[in-house]
Copies of this chain bind each other. A is one copy, B any other.
Amino acid sequence: MQRSQLADAVRYDDNGLIPAIIVSMEDNAVLMLGYMNDEAIQQTLETNTVTFWSRSKGRLWMKGESSGNTLELESIHVDCDQDALLVRARANGPTCHTGNRSCFFTEVEG
Q: Which residues of A contact B (CB under 8 A)?
A: 1-4, 6, 19, 21, 23, 27-30, 32-33, 75-81, 84, 86, 96-98, 100, 103-110
Residues of B within 8 A of A27 (CB): 28
Residues of B within 8 A of A21 (CB): 21, 30, 33
Partner pick for A76 among B2, B103, B107, CB 8 A cutoff: B107
Q: Which residue of chain B has its CB nearest to the CB of A2?
A: B110
Q: How far is the CA of A49 from the CA of B58 in the complex (A)?
A: 36
The listed residue with most B CB atoms (<10 A of its CB), out of A2, A3, A23, A75, is A23
* A105 touching B77, Cβ below 8 Å: yes
Q: How far is the CA of A97 from the CA of B81 in the complex (A)?
A: 10
* A80 touching B103, Cβ below 8 Å: yes
Q: How far is the CA of A97 from the CA of B107 in the complex (A)?
A: 29
Min CB distance A31 to B, Å, is 10
Residues of B within 8 A of A86 (CB): 30, 104
Q: Which residue of chain B has its CB nearest to the CB of A79?
A: B103
